[in-house]
Amino acid sequence: MIQTGDKLVCTSGNAFYSVGKVYTVGEYVNDKFFEIPTGCNDEHWYATIDSSGIYIRFETMERKMANAYFDKLNNQIYA
């Protein structure tokens, strides 16, 4: 289960999220969506978790940008 404050590492990125970079889960919007900040100002996108994994869907954007995928980091401390 993903909770606010959990750390996620990007495993497949795009213009907004970089592979290998660690992101902190933001607030939950509802039972299906939660925020992942981009690290630029207060910008964030809405992620979901399901049988496909943890991801932010970008394929609906006009420019057909690649989706961003993440894995949860378990019990590790990061600066």
List the structure tokens of 70. 């993440």
Q: Name which residue leads in pLDDT, 54 or 65.
A: 54
Q: What is the mean pLDDT of residues 24-41?
A: 90
30: left (phi over 0), alpha (psi -120 to 50) or beta: beta
Residue 54 has pLDDT above 50, yes or no: yes
pTM of the model: 0.83
CA end-to-end distance (rounded Å), the chain: 22
Q: What is the mean pLDDT of residues 55-77?
A: 80
Alpha-carbon span 26 to 64, nearest angstrom: 25
Q: Which residues contact 66 (CB under 8 A, 6 or more apart)?
A: 12, 13, 14, 58, 59
List the structure tokens of 8. 């996620």
